[in-house]
Structure 1
Amino acid sequence: MGIPTEPIGSIPRPSSLLSAMADGDPAALSAEQSAAIADTISRLEATGSPVLVDGEQSKPSFATYPITGLTALAPDGAVIPFADGHTRQLPRLTAGPFRYQVRAETYLRTAREHTSLPVKQAVIAPSALSLLYPADGIDGYPRKTFVDDLIDEAEADIRGCLDAGAHVVQLDFTEGRLSLKLDPSGGLLDDFVALNNQVLDRFTDDERARIGVHTCPGGDQDSTHSADVDYAGLLPKLFGLRAGNFYVQLASEPDPDRVLGVVAAHLPPEARVFVGVTDPIDPRVETPEEVRDRVLAAARHLPADRLGTCDDCGFSPFADDTSTSRDIAFAKIAARVEGTALASGVLGV
């Protein structure tokens, strides 16, 4: 069957969709979202991608989709600084109980209407949403009650996607590497891993085989928030997450062989790692031969039956990120698919 290859999630939105988002006409926005989803799936099929995504064409961002429409929010939440100086800011929860307003299975069901191929679904990790709760607490809604509610909601989000036929459900965990920048002691990362495992422990072994975790140093407007954090501090703890698949940004790493050595030393025996072989931030489109060579380099550290490939990150995790063109994103995906097939041939798998 060859080495599996999968996209991470987001694809840059068409200009017509971005215009509809800015105009605020609900009917026009819905029509543009539907057209963008159909086009995304059609173009992904044309690349030969064996697993599809909807490109997050209807999500405001990979992180905030569950709270779209939630009224108990203030705008002054946690700030995420990027290396180029720009920031993203999360909202702050002001009251409980905490409930998802949108579930990821709605995106999945829509996408599956357009294809018979396997479709994966990205969801936000509960650790990221834990940042919505303010440090000084909420009167009448203690943090422990919030965490209990969050765990229930995150489980329901994942389970809904599995029940709706997702090929795999991918938890976006970009805050993992960032946590070591915020707290170099690793205590915050330990808390994140423990929280996510409280959700993952609610699934069976067979279900966890269809659940994955994605890590990267963030990717927004051609910048990152934590690429300067050593992967060696993250990966051993990341692989303590009880998931069946791990998606690890690698193409943009300055020393991928060193990272692969860490991966090989700590990857759980039952898990598969998908290594990033295309860099969404780099405007240059990788050649299939470059992708092939990156896969072969990974295969020197990892057995082929535990190896897969992916893009380093989503191409446009926030809807207003236009730093990468839609055409370049699909060209990079096509190179990943072709290059992975070339490597499979060399490795005889």
Structure 2
Amino acid sequence: MKIPTEPIGSLPRSPELLSAMAEFQLGRMDGAALKEIQERAVRDTITELEAAGSPVVTDGEQAKASFVTYPLAGSPGLSPDGVVIPFADGHQRRLPALTSGPFRYKVSADQYLRAAQQHTRKPVKQAVVAPSMLSLLYPAAGISGYPREEFLHQLADESEAEIRACLDGGAHVVQLDFDEARLCLKLDPGGRLLDDLVSLNNQVLARFTESERARIGVYSGPGADQDSTHSLDVDYAELLPRLFWLTVGNFYLQLASESDPDRVLTLIADHLRPGVRVFVGVTDPIDPRVETPDEVRDRVLRAARHIPVDQLGTCDDAGFAPFADDASTSRATAFAKIRARVEGTALAIEALGI
């Protein structure tokens, strides 16, 4: 497509998979049985994405309990009382906290990539957690015998290895989920925390060649969990200049739920570097109403008035279920929105005559 369109990543888990995950946690299902159900969920998700016309597919993160903690599943040296992420509707998510080192991934996302590739011939996109997000697991009080500097070095090594394994495994693109970027400006309005996190991500990205970074992207949004956000009230103008310091070839940005999209598009255009593509959100996963293809077309055409078409792409505003237990959106609604995104992007290409 002249204007490429891609999903962000997560999709709602089926009732069968959610039930199986609960049974596994209670010790009433073994790992082999759970894995079989997860594999079926991945296959069905890819089949549905293809039926919706998606030119790029993902595994829908069906085997992940969370987009944040999947690398640490079963890891020792963790406590449940880490950083709290408050959402606008009052619910919270809490990250785990490290209690000891060394820091090592127990699970690498290239295993999800390989599993997805078995079910499709289409390009497969692989989402990974950004090192910046995992850096928040280190407690402010420190860890005796395990200094923060040593942790950050190990974190960078683990993140690089995961991204490289996905690139080497044939991922269409590797997307770093930098979901905490906008939230950081709520926690620290001065921006120092965000600057530190951008710097950490760039330290990892510097280990890749320019051609490799062309296949790496960064997603940023205000959160989308249980039909609520954590930082939609933070001015995008404070985020975007710093976000575009990241040395990647692709940015995936929430836009459909913005109250003044033209203002945001102007900011994007002001900071867009040559050779970088921006995928703008044209569907809103936390809005229960399914957008029409014509609405999507009009959103794409508006974006094309600000961003050169050869640097423009479309996406959803966010993943549909970044945490596995988020059942606020049905699978039927999610795939209907994806179909509208694909069809609406095609209508915009036709209208632009490209």
Which residues of structure 2 form unaligned runs of 5+?
none
Cα deviations by residue, 1:10-67 (Å, 9 ceiling, x for unpaired): 0000000000001111232111101100000001001111000000000011111111
One-letter code aligned to 1:61: S
Distance 1:331 1:72 in 2: 42
- Over the aligned positions, Cα root-mean-square deviation in angstroms equals 0.6
Runs (4+) of structure 1 exceeding 4 A deviation are none
After TM superposition, list the pairs within 5 Å mapping 1:317-336 onto structure 2.
317-336=322-341
Q: Secondary structure at the match of 1:3?
A: coil
| 2:145 aligns with one of 140, 152, 177 | 140
2:22 maps to what in 1? 22
TM-score by length of 2: 0.98
The structural deviation recorded for 1:270 is 1.6
Distance 1:54 1:296 in 2: 29
TM-score by length of 1: 0.99
| 2:49 aligns with one of 40, 44, 65 | 44
| 2:320 aligns with one of 315, 323, 333 | 315
2:258 maps to what in 1? 253
Work out whether 1:3 is the aligned partner of 2:3: yes
The structural deviation recorded for 1:136 is 0.7
2:271 maps to what in 1? 266
Distance 1:227 1:281 in 2: 12
2:281 maps to what in 1? 276
After TM superposition, list the pairs within 5 Å mapping 1:177-192 onto structure 2.
177-192=182-197
Distance 1:144 1:285 in 2: 46
Work out whether 1:172 is the aligned partner of 2:180: no
| 2:236 aligns with one of 222, 225, 231 | 231
Q: Secondary structure at the match of 1:18?
A: helix
Work out whether 1:66 is the aligned partner of 2:62: no
Distance 1:168 1:68 in 2: 24
One-letter code aligned to 2:12: P
Distance 2:184 2:353 in 1: 40
2:207 maps to what in 1? 202
Equivalent pairs, count: 349
The structural deviation recorded for 1:344 is 0.7
The structural deviation recorded for 1:159 is 0.4
Q: Secondary structure at the match of 1:31?
A: helix
Q: Secondary structure at the match of 1:5?
A: coil
The structural deviation recorded for 1:101 is 0.5
Work out whether 1:337 is the aligned partner of 2:342: yes
Distance 2:353 2:154 in 1: 48
Cα deviations by residue, 1:53-83 (Å, 9 ceiling, x for unpaired): 0000000111111111101101111000000
Cα deviations by residue, 1:177-198 (Å, 9 ceiling, x for unpaired): 0000000000000001000000
1:294 maps to what in 2? 299
Distance 2:108 2:121 in 1: 22
Distance 2:112 2:353 in 1: 36
| Percent identity for Structure 1 against Structure 2 | 71
Q: Secondary structure at the match of 2:136?
A: helix
Q: Secondary structure at the match of 1:339?
A: helix
Distance 1:74 1:22 in 2: 21
Q: Secondary structure at the match of 1:40?
A: helix
Which residues of structure 1 form unaligned runs of 5+?
none
2:127 maps to what in 1? 122
Distance 2:273 2:78 in 1: 39
One-letter code aligned to 1:337: V
Distance 2:271 2:9 in 1: 25
One-letter code aligned to 2:7: P
| Greater shift in the superposed pair: 25-34 or 207-216 | 25-34
Q: Secondary structure at the match of 1:16?
A: helix
Distance 1:146 1:348 in 2: 52
1:12 maps to what in 2? 12
After TM superposition, list the pairs within 5 Å mapping 1:203-218 onto structure 2.
203-218=208-223
Distance 1:145 1:27 in 2: 36
The structural deviation recorded for 1:260 is 0.2
Q: Secondary structure at the match of 2:333?
A: helix
